[in-house]
Chain A
Amino acid sequence: MSDPAGASAERELDLTRRKLAEAHKMASLGRLAAGIVHEINTPIGSILSNNETIRRSLNSLRKLLGTAVEQGLPPTPRTLAVLDTLASLTDIDKIACERILGIIRGLKTFARVNESDLQRVNIHEILLNTIKLTNCVFRRRITVVTEFDENLPDVECYPGLLNQVFLNLVVNASQAIEAEGTITIRTRSDGERAHVSVSDTGSGIPEAVRPRIFAAGFTTKPIGEGTGLGLTITREIVEDTHGGKITFETETGVGTTFHLWIPLRQPRSQERP
């Protein structure tokens, strides 16, 4: 690029695109927030309840054991039963804490903004994070199936951006499924590229809409549910930023599959400033 004014305009455009992508990611997370709150409230409720129960039971146990010691008697069956119940509550607490930790880790991965450097990452970890977060919203109505190619090499990419691509595709797939259905995520090695596909058993994309789905500002979703930028940003991240390819196949009433091919390695010259 020899024209300095043109180069500066290009940089500005790139910056605007990245800001827009960031804003869109935060908006997507915002829409997941209600589901995440629900998912965290359940384990928190259990932990608080168990803590209260354990605290009160420890006091009564102290009395029971004190009496037993004074009288030189072994602990009563009631005392042993209380101890067993308390042990089961601490097991529940551990599971509940792990559940919360899993959600927080997923959120942290999504919220990180400083991933502007190319990194070699295991794409399955990004996909599993996406599933964990989106599961908060639709776990009860949608089953997510993964068919991962365990021999898929690490992919050189901008992980934060790919996170967003997968989030967009999985959220779209979930919105295409009206009641109950399945989302299948597959990965496989395809020469020098990683092939990822996201399929849903949803309503399919109507024929009239198909040519416009990647166009900026185009949406069929109600106000507040879609910005009309999700697939535009997804295409830009896959094709412009990573030099990959995105296509889709769809059948009305049967479902839609989005196919992504991401190069395993990025040319050095493409590194971001």
Chain B
Amino acid sequence: MPITTAQLEKLHPYKELLVTSSVILTCLILSVIFPATNSFQSVSRNLFFLIVLPVLYIKLILKRDPTEYGWKAGNMKNGLFSAAFALFLGLAVFYLLIRFAGFSSHYHINSLIKNSFGLFLLYELVFLNIFFFAQEFFFKSFVLFSYRQFSYWAVLIQSGIYFSLLVLTKNFSWQTLPVIFVSLVGGFITFKTKSFLYSYIFGLLFIMILDAYIIHLVR
């Protein structure tokens, strides 16, 4: 049945939200299923669909200022304090998980980075960082601020989308528990500071420290 003019009129206030949601969904799906034959192409695919395409969409289609999507320093004092608090909280939670739930036995760390500090830094600051930044930008900047009209619910929406993606791609496990934590806590930091920078800093530091601690435990 064709959509009537009246129905379109009713949808009009949500047009941007609907189209943006479609773009988010498309980007996510393509970042997973777009055929890539090697790791180099996989990196390119992630960067393209999680960063380049959302940026182009914001700039060319929505014609919005990137600062509306958290591309700014925001309240630095507030941001750094929140990031530090979240880091402390996260490390405390995961210390308890390691101590009482055997988290370290479920959390796999590549044997190469276990034995070489140089490789560890390379992995954490380059490889992990590329993917983490792409992910942070997409969810904390593009997704979260696209739904900012829903106030704090936007944090849960972006976390929910991320969580669903993990479940659908069968990646939901102990291994992804830290990034789920970062997704949720980082979302609140981003929303509060209106900048995804602090969430990104918090997340990267948190994962690096956690990896380093677990390497220390298992070596």
Q: Do A and B come from one complex?
A: no
Residues in A lying within 8 Å of B, measured CB to CB: none
